Amino acid sequence: MQGINSNDQANGLHTMNSMKPVKVISVTGGKGGVGKSNVTVNIAISLAKLGKKVMIMDADLGLANIDIMLGLRVTRNLSHVLKGECDLEDIILDGPDGIKIIPASSGTKEMAQLSEMEHVGLIRAFSSLTSQIDILIVDTAAGIADNVISFSQASQDLLLVVCDEPTSITDAYALMKILSTDHGLFRFRIVANMVRTTTEGRELFAKLSRVTDQFLDVALDYVGSVPFDENVRKSVRKQQALVTLYPNSPAAIAMKNLATKIIKWPVPKTAKGNIEFFMERLVQGSTLD
Ligand SMILES: Nc1ncnc2c1ncn2[C@@H]1O[C@H](COP(=O)(O)OP(=O)(O)OP(=O)(O)O)[C@@H](O)[C@H]1O
Ligand SMILES: [Mg+2]
Protein backbone atom coordinates (compact mmCIF):
# COMPACT_ATOMS: atom_id res chain seq x y z
CA MET A 1 0.00 0.00 0.00
CA GLN A 2 1.25 3.43 -0.83
CA GLY A 3 1.07 6.41 1.44
CA ILE A 4 2.35 4.80 4.61
CA ASN A 5 2.27 7.48 7.26
CA SER A 6 5.51 8.78 8.63
CA ASN A 7 5.04 7.16 12.04
CA ASP A 8 4.73 3.75 10.52
CA GLN A 9 7.72 4.48 8.41
CA ALA A 10 9.80 5.46 11.39
CA ASN A 11 8.61 2.63 13.60
CA GLY A 12 8.15 -0.08 11.06
CA LEU A 13 10.27 0.21 7.98
CA HIS A 14 13.50 1.05 9.73
CA THR A 15 13.29 -1.75 12.24
CA MET A 16 14.68 -5.16 11.57
CA ASN A 17 12.55 -7.82 9.97
CA SER A 18 12.46 -9.80 13.16
CA MET A 19 10.71 -6.91 14.88
CA LYS A 20 7.87 -6.80 12.42
CA PRO A 21 4.73 -7.72 14.29
CA VAL A 22 2.97 -10.88 13.23
CA LYS A 23 -0.51 -11.69 14.39
CA VAL A 24 -0.59 -15.15 15.92
CA ILE A 25 -3.97 -16.82 16.32
CA SER A 26 -4.51 -20.28 17.75
CA VAL A 27 -7.62 -22.16 16.72
CA THR A 28 -8.81 -24.48 19.46
CA GLY A 29 -12.05 -26.08 20.51
CA GLY A 30 -11.67 -28.62 23.21
CA LYS A 31 -13.69 -31.24 21.40
CA GLY A 32 -12.60 -33.12 18.29
CA GLY A 33 -14.43 -32.74 15.01
CA VAL A 34 -15.97 -29.33 15.70
CA GLY A 35 -14.43 -27.83 12.57
CA LYS A 36 -11.13 -26.32 13.76
CA SER A 37 -9.16 -27.37 10.69
CA ASN A 38 -11.82 -26.24 8.25
CA VAL A 39 -12.14 -22.90 9.99
CA THR A 40 -8.34 -22.54 9.97
CA VAL A 41 -7.92 -23.28 6.28
CA ASN A 42 -10.83 -21.20 5.03
CA ILE A 43 -10.07 -18.22 7.22
CA ALA A 44 -6.43 -18.39 6.15
CA ILE A 45 -7.33 -18.35 2.46
CA SER A 46 -9.94 -15.63 2.97
CA LEU A 47 -7.38 -13.46 4.77
CA ALA A 48 -4.94 -14.07 1.91
CA LYS A 49 -7.61 -12.98 -0.56
CA LEU A 50 -7.92 -9.80 1.49
CA GLY A 51 -4.23 -9.14 0.88
CA LYS A 52 -2.60 -10.61 3.97
CA LYS A 53 0.40 -12.89 3.97
CA VAL A 54 -0.79 -15.90 5.89
CA MET A 55 0.87 -18.99 7.26
CA ILE A 56 -0.79 -21.98 8.87
CA MET A 57 1.03 -24.02 11.44
CA ASP A 58 -0.53 -27.44 11.69
CA ALA A 59 -0.02 -28.37 15.31
CA ASP A 60 -2.39 -31.31 15.22
CA LEU A 61 -0.93 -34.68 14.46
CA GLY A 62 -4.35 -36.17 13.85
CA LEU A 63 -5.79 -37.83 10.79
CA ALA A 64 -7.34 -34.90 8.95
CA ASN A 65 -4.21 -32.84 8.53
CA ILE A 66 -4.17 -29.53 6.71
CA ASP A 67 -1.89 -30.88 3.97
CA ILE A 68 -4.34 -33.69 3.23
CA MET A 69 -7.27 -31.27 3.24
CA LEU A 70 -5.50 -29.21 0.60
CA GLY A 71 -4.15 -32.14 -1.40
CA LEU A 72 -0.52 -31.24 -0.72
CA ARG A 73 2.35 -33.67 -0.49
CA VAL A 74 4.53 -33.61 2.57
CA THR A 75 7.93 -35.19 2.51
CA ARG A 76 9.55 -33.59 5.51
CA ASN A 77 8.24 -31.85 8.59
CA LEU A 78 9.27 -30.00 11.71
CA SER A 79 10.80 -33.08 13.29
CA HIS A 80 13.35 -33.16 10.43
CA VAL A 81 14.18 -29.53 11.12
CA LEU A 82 14.60 -30.28 14.79
CA LYS A 83 16.95 -33.16 13.96
CA GLY A 84 18.97 -30.83 11.76
CA GLU A 85 18.19 -32.75 8.58
CA CYS A 86 16.80 -29.74 6.74
CA ASP A 87 15.95 -26.07 7.16
CA LEU A 88 12.62 -24.65 8.15
CA GLU A 89 12.27 -23.16 4.67
CA ASP A 90 12.50 -26.66 3.16
CA ILE A 91 9.38 -27.96 4.87
CA ILE A 92 7.06 -25.04 4.18
CA LEU A 93 4.29 -25.92 1.73
CA ASP A 94 2.66 -23.54 -0.72
CA GLY A 95 -1.11 -23.56 -0.49
CA PRO A 96 -3.86 -21.76 -2.43
CA ASP A 97 -3.74 -17.96 -2.73
CA GLY A 98 -0.14 -17.87 -1.59
CA ILE A 99 -0.76 -19.21 1.89
CA LYS A 100 2.08 -21.16 3.45
CA ILE A 101 1.76 -24.22 5.60
CA ILE A 102 4.04 -25.76 8.18
CA PRO A 103 2.91 -29.38 8.08
CA ALA A 104 1.99 -31.41 11.13
CA SER A 105 4.59 -33.51 12.84
CA SER A 106 5.55 -34.92 16.15
CA GLY A 107 7.96 -31.98 16.12
CA THR A 108 5.41 -29.77 17.79
CA LYS A 109 5.38 -32.23 20.67
CA GLU A 110 9.12 -32.68 20.67
CA MET A 111 9.61 -29.01 21.36
CA ALA A 112 9.31 -29.87 25.04
CA GLN A 113 12.44 -31.97 24.86
CA LEU A 114 14.71 -29.56 23.02
CA SER A 115 18.04 -28.45 24.34
CA GLU A 116 18.72 -24.78 24.87
CA MET A 117 20.81 -24.69 21.66
CA GLU A 118 18.00 -26.24 19.67
CA HIS A 119 15.53 -23.76 21.16
CA VAL A 120 17.65 -20.90 20.00
CA GLY A 121 18.09 -22.41 16.54
CA LEU A 122 14.40 -22.91 16.09
CA ILE A 123 13.53 -19.45 17.32
CA ARG A 124 16.05 -17.99 14.87
CA ALA A 125 14.65 -20.05 12.03
CA PHE A 126 11.16 -18.85 12.78
CA SER A 127 12.16 -15.25 13.18
CA SER A 128 13.58 -15.34 9.66
CA LEU A 129 10.05 -16.05 8.44
CA THR A 130 8.75 -12.80 9.83
CA SER A 131 9.13 -10.85 6.63
CA GLN A 132 7.07 -13.43 4.78
CA ILE A 133 3.99 -13.32 6.98
CA ASP A 134 1.45 -10.99 8.54
CA ILE A 135 -0.69 -13.61 10.21
CA LEU A 136 0.17 -17.02 11.61
CA ILE A 137 -2.77 -19.32 12.32
CA VAL A 138 -2.12 -22.37 14.45
CA ASP A 139 -4.51 -25.29 14.08
CA THR A 140 -4.35 -27.15 17.38
CA ALA A 141 -5.38 -30.66 18.36
CA ALA A 142 -8.56 -31.56 20.18
CA GLY A 143 -8.42 -31.89 23.94
CA ILE A 144 -6.27 -30.23 26.55
CA ALA A 145 -2.91 -31.70 25.63
CA ASP A 146 0.21 -29.88 26.75
CA ASN A 147 0.95 -28.57 23.30
CA VAL A 148 -2.56 -27.12 22.95
CA ILE A 149 -1.92 -25.17 26.13
CA SER A 150 1.54 -24.10 24.98
CA PHE A 151 0.28 -22.83 21.64
CA SER A 152 -2.64 -21.06 23.29
CA GLN A 153 -0.32 -19.37 25.73
CA ALA A 154 2.07 -18.30 23.03
CA SER A 155 -0.61 -16.79 20.78
CA GLN A 156 -2.11 -13.33 20.89
CA ASP A 157 -5.62 -14.42 20.06
CA LEU A 158 -7.55 -17.57 20.75
CA LEU A 159 -10.30 -18.65 18.44
CA LEU A 160 -12.50 -21.23 20.08
CA VAL A 161 -14.68 -23.24 17.70
CA VAL A 162 -17.84 -24.64 19.27
CA CYS A 163 -20.90 -26.53 18.06
CA ASP A 164 -24.31 -26.69 19.60
CA GLU A 165 -23.76 -30.03 21.24
CA PRO A 166 -23.45 -30.63 24.98
CA THR A 167 -20.03 -32.29 24.61
CA SER A 168 -18.65 -29.39 22.59
CA ILE A 169 -19.89 -26.89 25.15
CA THR A 170 -18.53 -28.83 28.14
CA ASP A 171 -15.17 -29.42 26.41
CA ALA A 172 -14.88 -25.75 25.44
CA TYR A 173 -15.71 -24.86 29.02
CA ALA A 174 -13.08 -27.27 30.38
CA LEU A 175 -10.47 -25.80 28.06
CA MET A 176 -11.30 -22.21 29.07
CA LYS A 177 -11.25 -23.24 32.71
CA ILE A 178 -7.76 -24.71 32.58
CA LEU A 179 -6.39 -21.91 30.38
CA SER A 180 -7.80 -19.21 32.65
CA THR A 181 -7.17 -20.70 36.09
CA ASP A 182 -3.79 -22.31 35.46
CA HIS A 183 -2.34 -20.28 32.59
CA GLY A 184 -3.63 -16.74 32.97
CA LEU A 185 -5.57 -16.57 29.70
CA PHE A 186 -8.87 -14.85 29.93
CA ARG A 187 -9.92 -13.67 26.50
CA PHE A 188 -11.58 -16.09 24.11
CA ARG A 189 -13.07 -15.40 20.72
CA ILE A 190 -15.91 -17.70 19.87
CA VAL A 191 -16.97 -19.12 16.50
CA ALA A 192 -20.17 -21.17 16.45
CA ASN A 193 -19.84 -23.81 13.75
CA MET A 194 -22.40 -26.03 12.05
CA VAL A 195 -25.35 -23.89 13.12
CA ARG A 196 -28.72 -24.03 11.38
CA THR A 197 -29.38 -20.31 11.68
CA THR A 198 -27.45 -17.24 12.76
CA THR A 199 -29.83 -17.01 15.72
CA GLU A 200 -28.76 -20.48 16.80
CA GLY A 201 -25.15 -19.26 16.73
CA ARG A 202 -25.96 -16.27 18.92
CA GLU A 203 -27.90 -18.46 21.33
CA LEU A 204 -25.00 -20.86 21.56
CA PHE A 205 -22.71 -17.97 22.41
CA ALA A 206 -25.20 -16.74 25.02
CA LYS A 207 -25.39 -20.21 26.53
CA LEU A 208 -21.61 -20.43 26.77
CA SER A 209 -21.35 -16.92 28.22
CA ARG A 210 -23.92 -17.70 30.91
CA VAL A 211 -21.84 -20.59 32.23
CA THR A 212 -18.49 -18.82 32.00
CA ASP A 213 -19.90 -15.64 33.61
CA GLN A 214 -21.05 -17.71 36.53
CA PHE A 215 -17.97 -19.81 37.14
CA LEU A 216 -14.93 -18.40 35.34
CA ASP A 217 -13.03 -15.16 35.20
CA VAL A 218 -12.98 -14.90 31.40
CA ALA A 219 -14.12 -12.52 28.68
CA LEU A 220 -15.81 -14.00 25.64
CA ASP A 221 -16.17 -12.24 22.29
CA TYR A 222 -18.49 -13.49 19.61
CA VAL A 223 -16.83 -13.53 16.20
CA GLY A 224 -19.72 -15.14 14.34
CA SER A 225 -21.15 -18.39 13.09
CA VAL A 226 -20.71 -20.80 10.20
CA PRO A 227 -23.79 -22.68 9.03
CA PHE A 228 -23.93 -26.42 8.59
CA ASP A 229 -23.26 -26.84 4.90
CA GLU A 230 -22.74 -30.08 2.97
CA ASN A 231 -20.27 -28.24 0.74
CA VAL A 232 -17.77 -28.33 3.63
CA ARG A 233 -17.67 -32.13 3.56
CA LYS A 234 -17.63 -32.15 -0.23
CA SER A 235 -14.63 -29.84 -0.35
CA VAL A 236 -12.80 -31.96 2.24
CA ARG A 237 -13.45 -35.04 0.12
CA LYS A 238 -12.16 -33.24 -2.97
CA GLN A 239 -9.09 -32.07 -1.04
CA GLN A 240 -9.67 -28.44 -1.81
CA ALA A 241 -10.67 -25.55 0.37
CA LEU A 242 -14.35 -24.67 0.60
CA VAL A 243 -13.74 -21.00 -0.22
CA THR A 244 -11.85 -22.06 -3.34
CA LEU A 245 -14.25 -24.71 -4.56
CA TYR A 246 -17.61 -23.30 -3.47
CA PRO A 247 -16.95 -19.60 -2.84
CA ASN A 248 -20.63 -18.71 -2.87
CA SER A 249 -21.82 -21.48 -0.57
CA PRO A 250 -23.34 -20.35 2.75
CA ALA A 251 -20.42 -21.69 4.83
CA ALA A 252 -17.83 -20.08 2.52
CA ILE A 253 -19.56 -16.70 2.79
CA ALA A 254 -19.60 -17.09 6.58
CA MET A 255 -15.87 -17.95 6.62
CA LYS A 256 -15.15 -14.83 4.56
CA ASN A 257 -17.18 -12.77 7.01
CA LEU A 258 -15.11 -14.15 9.88
CA ALA A 259 -11.94 -13.16 8.03
CA THR A 260 -13.17 -9.59 7.54
CA LYS A 261 -13.64 -9.37 11.31
CA ILE A 262 -10.31 -11.00 12.15
CA ILE A 263 -8.43 -8.64 9.87
CA LYS A 264 -9.57 -5.78 12.10
CA TRP A 265 -8.15 -7.29 15.28
CA PRO A 266 -5.31 -5.12 16.52
CA VAL A 267 -1.78 -6.27 15.81
CA PRO A 268 0.58 -5.76 18.75
CA LYS A 269 3.05 -2.98 18.07
CA THR A 270 5.58 -4.07 20.66
CA ALA A 271 8.33 -6.64 20.45
CA LYS A 272 5.85 -9.05 22.01
CA GLY A 273 4.15 -9.16 18.67
CA ASN A 274 7.01 -10.65 16.75
CA ILE A 275 7.25 -14.26 15.81
CA GLU A 276 10.46 -14.74 17.70
CA PHE A 277 8.58 -13.96 20.87
CA PHE A 278 5.87 -16.44 19.92
CA MET A 279 8.43 -19.20 19.48
CA GLU A 280 10.19 -18.27 22.69
CA ARG A 281 6.99 -18.48 24.63
CA LEU A 282 6.14 -21.70 22.88
CA VAL A 283 9.34 -23.53 23.68
CA GLN A 284 9.59 -22.07 27.15
CA GLY A 285 5.97 -22.87 27.84
CA SER A 286 6.47 -26.47 26.88
CA THR A 287 9.54 -26.96 29.00
CA LEU A 288 8.04 -25.32 32.05
CA ASP A 289 4.74 -27.21 31.97
N1 LIG B 1 -19.89 -25.91 8.78
C2 LIG B 1 -19.84 -27.22 8.51
N3 LIG B 1 -20.84 -27.83 7.84
C4 LIG B 1 -20.80 -29.15 7.57
N5 LIG B 1 -19.77 -29.95 7.93
C6 LIG B 1 -18.75 -29.41 8.59
C7 LIG B 1 -18.72 -28.01 8.92
N8 LIG B 1 -17.55 -27.77 9.57
C9 LIG B 1 -16.90 -28.94 9.64
N10 LIG B 1 -17.60 -29.92 9.06
C11 LIG B 1 -17.22 -31.34 8.93
O12 LIG B 1 -16.91 -31.83 10.21
C13 LIG B 1 -15.79 -32.71 10.16
C14 LIG B 1 -14.73 -32.22 11.13
O15 LIG B 1 -14.19 -30.99 10.67
P16 LIG B 1 -12.68 -30.60 10.98
O17 LIG B 1 -11.77 -31.66 10.54
O18 LIG B 1 -12.47 -29.22 10.48
O19 LIG B 1 -12.78 -30.58 12.57
P20 LIG B 1 -11.60 -30.51 13.63
O21 LIG B 1 -12.15 -29.80 14.81
O22 LIG B 1 -10.37 -29.97 13.01
O23 LIG B 1 -11.40 -32.05 13.96
P24 LIG B 1 -10.16 -32.73 14.73
O25 LIG B 1 -10.41 -32.48 16.17
O26 LIG B 1 -10.29 -34.18 14.35
O27 LIG B 1 -8.92 -32.10 14.23
C28 LIG B 1 -15.33 -32.73 8.71
O29 LIG B 1 -15.81 -33.88 8.11
C30 LIG B 1 -15.95 -31.51 8.10
O31 LIG B 1 -16.23 -31.70 6.76
MG1 LIG C 1 -8.43 -30.74 12.87
pLDDT in tens, 86-138: 888 899 999 999 999 999 876 666 665 566 666 677 777 777 787 788 999 99
CA neighbor of 31 nearest in space, from 139, 194, 154, 142: 142
Q: Whose CA is nearest to atom 28 of ligand 1?
A: 233
Q: Averaged over 199-225, what is the pLDDT? A: 97
Ligand 2 center to 5 CA (angstroms) = 40
Distance, in Å, from the CA atom of 271 to the CA atom of 83, rounded to the nearest integer, reads 29
Distance, in Å, from the CA atom of 263 to the CA atom of 52, rounded to the nearest integer, reads 9
CA neighbor of 140 nearest in space, from 118, 121, 157: 157
- C-alpha to C-alpha distances, 183 to 51, 146, 152, 153, 240, nearest whole angstrom: 34, 12, 9, 7, 36
Ligand 2 center to 121 CA (angstroms) = 28
Q: Which residues, 6 or more positions from 237, have their beta carbon under 8 angstroms from its beta carbon?
A: none
Q: Averaged over 198-206, what is the pLDDT? A: 98
Q: Averaged over 273-286, what is the pLDDT? A: 69
Percent of the chain residues past pLDDT 90, beyond the cut: 57
Closest ligand 1 atom to residue 227 Cα is 1
Select from 31, 37, 197, 226 the residue to mutate for testing ligand 1; criterion: most ligand atoms less than 8 Å from CB.
37
Select from 191, 233, 249 the residue to mutate for testing ligand 1; criterion: most ligand atoms less than 8 Å from CB.
233
Distance, in Å, from the CA atom of 17 to the CA atom of 131, rounded to the nearest integer, reads 6
Q: Which of 5-9, 114-118, 154-158, 184-188: highest mean pLDDT?
A: 184-188
Distance, in Å, from the CA atom of 34 to the CA atom of 142, rounded to the nearest integer, reads 9
Q: What is the model's pLDDT at position 64?
A: 67
CA neighbor of 44 nearest in space, from 3, 94, 85, 89: 94
Ligand 1 center to 176 CA (angstroms) = 21
Cα 242 vs. chain centroid, distance in angstroms?
17
Strand partners, 56: 101, 137
Q: What pTM did the predictor assign?
A: 0.89
Ligand 2 center to 40 CA (angstroms) = 9
pLDDT tens-digit map of 29-65: 988 999 999 999 999 999 999 999 999 999 887 766 8
- C-alpha to C-alpha distances, 259 to 46, 71, 169, 249, nearest whole angstrom: 6, 23, 23, 16
Ligand 1 center to 152 CA (angstroms) = 20
pLDDT tens-digit map of 150-183: 888 888 899 999 999 999 999 999 999 999 999 9
Closest ligand 1 atom to residue 161 Cα is 21
